[in-house]
Structure 1
Amino acid sequence: MHQRLFGTDGLRGHVNAYPLTADMALRLGLAAGTLFRDGQRRHKVIIGKDTRLSGYVFESALTAGLCAAGMDVFQVGPLPTPAIAFLTRNMRADLGVVISASHNPYDDNGIKFFDRDGFKLPDETEDRMADLVLDAGHAWEYPPSDKVGRAYKIVDAPGRYIVYLKNSFPQDLTLEGLRVVIDCANGANYKVAPLALEELGAEVVRLGTAPDGLNINRDCGSLHPEAMQARVRETRADIGLALDGDADRLIVADETGRVLDGDQIMALCADDL
């Protein structure tokens, strides 16, 4: 068995330093394609990312490896991690990939794989992938030239996820009349979250919705909720929300700007069940 390549949340590291290099991403694409193709049909892979500048590098390298291995790749662009899990199921893909380092700064990144049901791959599968990737002498078995994969961009992916979010919201509830401050950390949810809240009726005050590839999580979002808290008080909002870079973490503030801890949020949810 080779050294453990994947951690508890996929592959993480500093951009352009081992193990997070373009070459590694290419080999991961080849390994994933080798493990998941069966040669009987076209295979589909969803790739999403957050707003880090390096996301384009790893998206391109993964796409090249997967297509070379005979997998069709559907790039959905910047979307929150839960959206990639949803789209993997919704689009009946064989595999989903998220390129993100969550709450870390822009110069880190990561690669995480989902199975067809939108769940993280089992450790055993990740270990098999690592064995292929780290075997310098491995001879890849490429499909014939007419069986290589194609790459597509899915421009309506955010809209699909917004529809899913709205359908998940109780039909007898509305956000009309509520003012909501949301800090998207200049990350993956900078489009989806404000639009979903607005379509549910809320008046939305936006923070952290101008990503430039370098400012993800910088003095904003769930790690730095102070700006959100101040804006709640300044605008007399009803609630404040702060997300991290891939929108799998949430900090909530009440109408006074006071942050609620996780136990309080769970108690509020439980009381409404």
Structure 2
Amino acid sequence: MKSQVCISDLMTSSGVAFGTSGARGLVEAMTDRICFAYTCGFLQHLEDIGHFSKGAAVSIAGDLRPSTPRILQACAAAILHKGGKIDYCGFVPSPSVAAHGFAHNSGSLMVTGSHIPDDRNGIKFNRADGEILKADEIAIRAQNVEIPDIFDAQGMLNEPIVLPALTDVSSSYLARYVDFFGAKALEGMALGVYEHSAVGRDIFVQLVKELGGTVHRLGRSDCFIPVDTEAVRPEDHALAQQWSRELNLDAILSSDGDSDRPLLADENGNWIRGDILGILCARALGASAIATPVSCNSAVESAQLFDAIHRTRIGSPFVIEAMQALIHDGHAVVCGYEANGGFLLGSAVTTDTTILAPLPTRDAALPMIATLVDAQRKNLPLSALQAELPARFTFSERLQNYPVAQSAALIEKLIQGEDIEILDRLTALFKEIAGVAKRFDLTDGLRIYFDNADIIHLRPSGNAPELRCYTECDTMERASSINDQVLHLIERNAFAV
């Protein structure tokens, strides 16, 4: 017996909804039936726009959290149900399976919850020519899908799906960077790879080796560790400094769970903020135009390195749309990056001998490798390379288990009334922390600019029940202190929401 259901209704009833990086939710809510239905909705949308037809291959891969293999089987069942072929890529970084799909003009998906704890998971969808954008998401939500009678009462598959032989996508992903930067690009550098549970850990080790660096493998874990590149755990700060000191490392490379967001530490074991790493990478590649969210460090403007800078809402779909606009305007080398460090290459980078093809999806490898190669060529440590940029420091942290509705109510309360009323209210709340509020920006959340150049930015997370707080100041100590004070205000319900 078959049934039909609308994806938007499933999202409401299951709690598994679209955020800035695909569909995500609690593992217990992501039953096989739900994941099957969402994948069918995705494929039907691809069919509508000419990116999928019966007999076409769809590439699938996943991260290393415990629920991923089961969800991969549910997605595979949906591909078979829609008449497609399964192109099984295994457990590899999100950008590697996306690049494979783009190269073969086929849709792809990645089962991953990225940096969030492993009681949650998600599915990230890609068109044949790039990530799904907001218009695609709306179209997927509107799909009515047929659900066959292949699930038990708990919504799990009655029988497992046999996945086909593995397609190697790692080799082409490695070759992308080895061919462009050269086999001796990192020669003489002692580099640590903090492996933890990142799906790209083995690829990063191999990449460093093939680029001529000396590798130290660090901190491999059989248990999933939710490494968030925007809110690095205190233990990871301590480990990086310990490893750098004991092993005399030039840098440490790591990433989040699906290895699309980089985490790079300098020679002192200090993790470089993702938005600073984005500037360093863009400069190293000779970018002419940048797309980056409103939450990212303002050094990108004050450095005066780029011809055009387009600020966006937070999330790779918005960055991609802005990159497309910059390319349309005729800029030569267009790229984008997010505060989490994920780097998107919108147009090709050409040297006298080779070309680095566009990859318009978040990537962790490129910003780390490009920045290390630039440091090597200039014979500078990473700390000195970073010191060449204007001294602006960002810090981010979040309140976990803070419902999205509560975050929205908080921000709505703060922005009630006319602009002058809002600025007076923000000044009254934050004067002892950051001074007088001079202006605010509602592009994504609430970003407040103060008279002493401090910035406070509050925003509900797009993929978890978290309230994020970003702060930017002239010193890291102040950025961290202000962030802590703001979150304590919210925890104490000082805003009486």
Fold-level match, TM-score > 0.5? yes
- In 2, Cα distance between the equivalents of 1:157 and 1:16? 30
Q: Does 1:181 align with 2:192?
A: yes
User: Which residue of the partner structure matches residue 45 of structure 2?
Assistant: 35
Equivalent residue in structure 1 for 2:91, among 55, 65, 78:
78
Q: What stretches of structure 2 of length at least 5 have no aligned partner? A: 1-5, 12-16, 149-161, 287-497
SS state at 1:175 partner:
coil
Q: Cα gap change, 1:270/1:42 in structure 2, threshold over 3 Å: closer, same or farther?
A: closer
Percent of counterpart pairs with the same letter? 26
Alignment of 1:133-212 (within 5 A): 139=146, 152-168=164-180, 170-171=181-182, 174-210=185-221, 212=222
1:145 matched to which residue of 2? none
2:110 is matched with which residue? 98
Q: Relative to structure 2, which stretch is displaced further, 262-271 or 228-237?
A: 262-271
The residue that corresponds to 1:144 in the other structure is none
Task: Look up the equivalent residue of 2:42 and give its one-letter code.
Answer: A
What is the rounded CA distance, in whole Å, between the counterparts of 2:204 and 2:26 in structure 1? Answer: 28
Displacement after TM superposition at 1:215 (Å): 2.1
Query: What number of residue pairs does the alignment pair up?
Result: 255
Q: Which residue of 1 aligns with 2:296?
A: none
Is 2:54 the partner of 1:45?
no
C-alpha distance after superposition, 1:53-72 (max 9, x if no partner): 11111100010011111011
Q: Which of 81, 89, 92 is matched with 2:102 structurally? A: 89
In the other structure, the counterpart of 1:255 is 267
**Which amino acid counterpart does residue 72 of structure 1 have in structure 2?**
K
Task: State the Cα deviation string for residues 9-28 of structure 1 (Å, max 9, x = none).
Answer: 111111022xx221111112
Residues in 1 aligned to 2:110 and 2:54: alpha-carbon distance in whole angstroms: 24
Q: CA deviation at 1:253?
A: 1.9
Deviations 1:157-200 (CA, angstroms, capped at 9, x unpaired): 222221223123x2385211111012133121121111111111
Change in 2 beyond 3 A, CA 1:221/1:188: farther
Does residue 121 of the first structure (1) align with residue 107 of the second (2)? no
Match 1:235 to one of 247, 250, 265? 247
**Is contact 1:180–1:203 with CA below 8 Å preserved after alignment?**
yes
Residues 33-86 of structure 1: per-residue CA shift (max 9 Å, x gap): 333347966211111111011111110001001111101111111111111221
Q: Which has the larger radius of gyration?
A: 2
CA separation of 1:91/1:231 partners in 2, compared to 1, >3 Å: closer, same or farther?
A: same
Q: Match for 1:26: what amino acid?
A: F
Q: Secondary structure at the match of 1:259?
A: coil
AA at the equivalent of 1:7: G
Q: Which deviates more, 255-264 or 23-32?
A: 255-264
CA separation in 1, counterparts of 2:122 and 2:141?
A: 15
Asked if the contact 2:59–2:109 (Cα under 8 Å) also holds between the matched residues in 1, the reply is yes
- Contact 1:228/1:240, CA 8 A, preserved across alignment: yes
CA distance in 2: counterparts of 1:102 and 1:65, whole angstroms: 22
> Which moves more between the two structures, 262-271 or 248-257?
262-271
Give me the CA root mean square deviation.
3.0
Which secondary structure state, in structure 2, belongs to the residue aligned with residue 241 of structure 1? Answer: strand
Contact residue 191 and residue 209 of structure 1 kept, 8 A? no
**Contact 1:183 1:221 (C-alpha < 8 Å) held by counterparts:** no
Q: Structure 1 residues 40, 247: CA separation in 2 closer, same or farther (over 3 Å shift)?
A: closer
CA shift, 1:114, in A, is: 0.4
CA distance in 2, matches of 1:261, 1:178: 21
Choose between structure 1 and 2 for higher RCO, CA contacts under 8 A separated by at least 6 residues: 1
- Of 213, 217, 225, the match for 2:226: 217
SS at match of 1:246: coil
Return closer, same or farther for 1:126/1:159 CA change in 2, 3 Å cut-off: same
